[in-house]
Structure 1
Amino acid sequence: MDFDLDNLKTAGLGLGAALSVGLNGWLAFGRTWVRTKASNANDSQQINMLQFLSDQVKELKTENTHLRDEIEERDQRIREYWKTITETESRLQIVESQLEALKQQNESLREELRELVAASTNMSCELARIKNAERMPR
């Protein structure tokens, strides 16, 4: 077997080139595999974060609904309180106006009573004079 140095050099260069291409391919595959693995981990993490945020949104919607119901109940109670207050104010105004009318009527009755007392006193005096006049001979 005759090995020629040129053939050996050519074979060595071919083998070196093949090893270089193989090594570059293996390194490229490794980088791609690591990048894919990191990308998958990142995707999983993003999916988990989205699921977490979705769960939080659901919880906040539930809490929001609950708070809206509470606010509606409070608004209803406030409306009822205002209705009661308005009715009470109306009744109070009626009572106050009736009280004012009764005060005026009472004042009028007092005036009439004074006049009646004065008239009664005058009648008593007049009656006493008439009795005295009858007792006295003329």
Structure 2
Amino acid sequence: MTRTWASCRPSPERGFTLLELLLVLALAATAATLVLPSAFSALRAAEERKLLVEVESLLTRLPTEAAMRREPSQWQALALMARVPDWPSSWQLRLESPLAVDARGMSGGGRVQLWHGERLAQEWELRAGDGRPLRVKPSETDAP
């Protein structure tokens, strides 16, 4: 008697064997170990880009806000961080001196650094006068 394809198929009552289930679990675990690290890395990179954009936007708005209120303002790092929604706890903003903007929106200039742990992620130099933030390439030798 020859076997046909229909007779080789498992019956619906039989289900999967333990070996088949273990093989599927092993393949799923292997796929997860390959995909998850890159997915988490992409999430961290997106968080960093979002924070860079938010800080740069905030630095750009400071002179305009002072001019609209027609009163001078001075900013410390903690006050600036408080203005960014959901500031991540592992990130820190550092200023060489408080940022000062007069009532006309004119800035005294300065430097702003964004740190992630012990790594300098970005540095801005604020132009004296209009206060526009210019990105400075972070140096590998910068220390906290």
Shorter-normalised TM range? 0.3 to 0.5
Higher helix share: 1
Higher strand share: 2
Bigger relative contact order (CA 8 A; separation at least 6): 2
Larger radius of gyration: 1
